[in-house]
Amino acid sequence: MKGFAIISILFFSLALTWQTNPRREVADLVLLNCAVWTVNPAQPWAEAVAIKEDKILEAGSSQEIKRMIGDSTQVIDLKGDMVLPGFIDSHTHFLDGGFSLLGIRLRDAESREEFITKIADKAKKIEKGVWILDGDWDHQSFDPPELPRKEWIDPATLHNPVCVNRYDGHMVLVNSLALKLAGVTKDTHSPAGGEILKDSETGEPTGILKDAAMNLVTKHIPEPSFREKLKAAEVALKHAAEKGVTSIHDMANADNFEVYQELLRLNKLTARLYVYIPITEVELYARLKLKTPFGNNLLKIGGLKGFVDGSLGSSTALFFDPYTDNPRKKGLLHSQMFPEGIMEKRIIQAEKAGLQVAIHAIGDRANSILLDIFERIIAQSEKRDRRWRIEHAQHLLPGDIERIASLDIIASVQPYHAIDDGRWAERKIGRKRCQYTYAFKSLLEKGAVLACGSDWTVAPLDPIGGIYAAVTRQTLDGKHPEGWFPEQKISLEEAVKGYTLNGAYAEFSENMKGSVEKGKVADLVVLSRNIFKIPPDEIQKTEVKMTILNGKIIYKK
Ligand SMILES: [Zn+2]
C-alpha cells in the first residue's frame, strides 16, 4: 500500500512537471537572434535554434528556445545573421579538389604567356622526373582562345613530364617527355571514346589528349602515396567547412574510400561523405549483395557512377546535330559505352541488386540515350524508390525534360557551370540548343527534383556562388546582366533547397538532414547576410561565418 502511494506521488509530480514545463529539455548549444530559413515547409522561418548533442532540439521563436538554456548551455547571439541547413554538394571530385588546392593552378591564366610562365615556374621548383599535374586550365579564358600545345611548354620542361588537365577533366595537355614515356607518336591511333589531337601539317601529336586518350599518359603517372592522399583529403575538408559544406557526394574514385575510412577512424571527418563507386564495379556489389546506402551517418557508400559522354568545353559532349563551331563533329560516346550495350547491361545489374545509379550525360543525344535505357529498364521492373540520377543533364531536348520528371529521375545539376559556360556555349552549339541548356526552371516546372552541386574541381566548391548563379544566371564576363537565358532562372527558395534538402533526398537521407527541423542532425551554416533580403546580384558577396556539423562548430571566421 505504501509503495503504491509513493508511486502515485511520483506519477503526480511527474505529470505536474510535464504540465507546467512541457519541454524543459536543456540544450548544449543555442543560436539566438538569427534569421533561419529552415527548408521545412511546415515552418519556413525561425529566430533561434537549440541543439542537443548532435541533433536539433528545436527551431522556433527566441522565446521558445530561450527556455532550453541551462547552466551548461553555450549561447551564441548571432545578431541577425542568417542560418541555413548545412550545404550539401551533390557532385564533387573531392580528393582531386584537395590535390588541386595543393598543386599547380592554371585556372586564372589568361594568356599563352601566363600559362607558360606558371608551368616553367613550377618546373624550376621541383626535382627532375617529378610530374607536373592538375592545373585546371581553361583555354576559353585565353585571349584569343586557343588550345595549348606541347611546344609551348617543352623548352621549360625537358626533365619533368607534364600532364595538366582542362578544368572539366575531359582533356589534358602533355609535353613531349610525357608522350615519350607513354610511347605515343604520330602513328598512335586514337582509342575508342577518345582523341589524340594531331597537327594538321606534320601529323605529330599536339599534346592535347581528349577523354579516353588521356589514359594513354595518365596510366604512367605514379599513384600519390597514402599520406599524400590523406593530406589532400584534410585540405579539402577544411576548404569545405570554410564554404559551409557539411555533406559531400564524391564521384566515383574507389581508391578514395580507404582515405576516408582512415579519417573516420581518426575522428577527422568534418563532412558527411556519400561516395559513389564506378559502375564498372557493379559485379562486385552484386557479389557482396551490398545494399546501398551502406555505412554510417558520416561515411556511406552510395550508388554507382557511370559516363555516357564527355564535356561541352572539350567538344566531346554527344549531340544529335554537329557542333556549330565544328560541323564535322557531334561529340563522343564515353569508353564505358563500349562494347555496345554494356551500359544497359550494367544498369540492369544495378536494378536487380536494388542499387542507385548516377550517370553522367551532357549532350542532348547522351541524355536521350540514357533516358531510353532508364525508360526500358523501369518499364520492365517492379515499382520501387530508385532515385536514379543524371549527372549534369546539361543539354536537353524539351521532351527529355518531361521524361526526366515522369521517370522520377533526379537532375544532378551544377548552376555555376551555367554562368561559366554561358560565356561561350552559344559559339559552340548555337542559340537554339542553348535554350534548353542548364534548363533548371523547365526541369522544376515539369516536376523534376534538382540536386545541386559544384562538380569541384570543374567549378569552385562554393554553394553561395552556385545559388547566386542559379538565381541570376549572370555570366562571369558580365555580358548578361539580366541573366543568360533568364527564363531559366530559379527562385532563391528552390536554389537553397537544391543545395540542402534535395541533396539529402538524392542520397536517401532527407529524414536525417537537409532542413533545420527537430530531430534532424545539427548541420548548419551561418551567413553574414540574409540572402532573402538583398538584391540577388549581391548574394555572391555573402560570407560563411560559421559552420556546424553534428552540433559542433567546425569553422568560425
Ligand atoms: Zn564530375
Asked whether the predicted pLDDT for residue 487 surpasses 80, the reply is yes
What pLDDT is stored for residue 146 in this prediction? 94
Distance 249 CA to ligand 1 centre (A): 10
Tens digit of each residue's pLDDT (9 = 90 or more) over 78-126: 999 999 999 999 999 999 999 988 889 999 999 999 999 999 999 998 8
d(CA 184, CA 162): 14
Distance 388 CA to ligand 1 centre (A): 16
What pLDDT is stored for residue 72 in this prediction? 96
The neighbouring-strand residues paired with 137 are 166
Distance 250 CA to ligand 1 centre (A): 9
Closest by CA position to 269, among listed 305, 304, 300: 300
Distance 212 CA to ligand 1 centre (A): 15
Tens digit of each residue's pLDDT (9 = 90 or more) over 297-334: 999 999 999 999 999 999 999 999 999 999 999 999 99
Distance 58 CA to ligand 1 centre (A): 36
Distance 378 CA to ligand 1 centre (A): 25
Asked whether the predicted pLDDT for residue 235 surpasses 80, the reply is yes
Tell me the three cell numbers of residue 241.
567547412
- What value does the mean pLDDT of the chain take? 94
Distance 211 CA to ligand 1 centre (A): 13
What pLDDT is stored for residue 39 in this prediction? 98
Sequence-distant (6+) residues with CB within 8 A of 262 are 226, 230
Distance 456 CA to ligand 1 centre (A): 7
Distance 334 CA to ligand 1 centre (A): 14
Distance 149 CA to ligand 1 centre (A): 25
What pLDDT is stored for residue 102 in this prediction? 85
What pLDDT is stored for residue 168 in this prediction? 87
What pLDDT is stored for residue 351 in this prediction? 95
Distance 367 CA to ligand 1 centre (A): 15
Distance 205 CA to ligand 1 centre (A): 27
Distance 443 CA to ligand 1 centre (A): 20
Query: Ramachandran region of residue 252, left (φ > 0), alpha (ψ -120 to 50) or beta?
Result: left
pLDDT confidence bin for 286, thresholds 50/70/90: confident
Distance 168 CA to ligand 1 centre (A): 8
Cα(first)–Cα(last) distance of the chain, in Å? 62
Distance 115 CA to ligand 1 centre (A): 24
pLDDT confidence bin for 15, thresholds 50/70/90: very low
Long-range contacts of 321-330 (CB under 8 A, 24+ apart): 321/433, 323/428, 323/429, 324/426, 324/427, 324/428, 324/429, 324/430, 325/427, 325/428, 330/363, 330/365
Asked whether the predicted pLDDT for residue 139 surpasses 60, the reply is yes
Asked whether the predicted pLDDT for residue 41 surpasses 50, the reply is yes
Distance 2 CA to ligand 1 centre (A): 71
Distance 275 CA to ligand 1 centre (A): 13
Distance 71 CA to ligand 1 centre (A): 48
> Do the Cβ atoms of 299 and 261 come closer than 8 Å?
yes
Distance 109 CA to ligand 1 centre (A): 22
Q: In whole angstroms, how far apart are CA 189 and each of 43, 179, 198, 204, 333?
A: 61, 13, 10, 12, 17
Distance 198 CA to ligand 1 centre (A): 27
Q: Please give the torsion angle defined by the CA atoms of residues 414, 415, 416 and 418, in that order, rounded to the nearest 10 degrees.
A: 110
What pLDDT is stored for residue 183 in this prediction? 96
Q: What is the pLDDT averaged over residues 534-545?
A: 97
Tens digit of each residue's pLDDT (9 = 90 or more) over 434-485: 999 999 999 999 999 999 999 998 899 999 999 999 999 999 999 999 999 9
Amino acid at 67: R
pLDDT confidence bin for 22, thresholds 50/70/90: low
Distance 280 CA to ligand 1 centre (A): 16
Distance 475 CA to ligand 1 centre (A): 21
Distance 291 CA to ligand 1 centre (A): 24
pLDDT confidence bin for 254, thresholds 50/70/90: confident
Distance 67 CA to ligand 1 centre (A): 46
Distance 43 CA to ligand 1 centre (A): 34
Tens digit of each residue's pLDDT (9 = 90 or more) over 512-522: 999 999 999 99
Closest by CA position to 249, among listed 461, 38, 488: 461
Distance 457 CA to ligand 1 centre (A): 8
Tens digit of each residue's pLDDT (9 = 90 or more) over 24-34: 799 999 999 99
pLDDT confidence bin for 232, thresholds 50/70/90: very high
- Local structure of residue 22 (DSSP, 8 states): T
Distance 106 CA to ligand 1 centre (A): 19
Asked whether the predicted pLDDT for residue 21 surpasses 60, the reply is no
Distance 252 CA to ligand 1 centre (A): 9
pLDDT confidence bin for 16, thresholds 50/70/90: very low
Asked whether the predicted pLDDT for residue 52 surpasses 50, the reply is yes
Distance 92 CA to ligand 1 centre (A): 6
Asked whether the predicted pLDDT for residue 369 surpasses 80, the reply is yes
pTM: 0.86
Distance 480 CA to ligand 1 centre (A): 26
Distance 124 CA to ligand 1 centre (A): 32
Asked whether the predicted pLDDT for residue 17 surpasses 80, the reply is no
What pLDDT is stored for residue 174 in this prediction? 98
Tell me the three cell numbers of residue 514.
537537409
What pLDDT is stored for residue 2 in this prediction? 46
d(CA 523, CA 486): 33
Asked whether the predicted pLDDT for residue 9 surpasses 90, the reply is no
Distance 196 CA to ligand 1 centre (A): 22
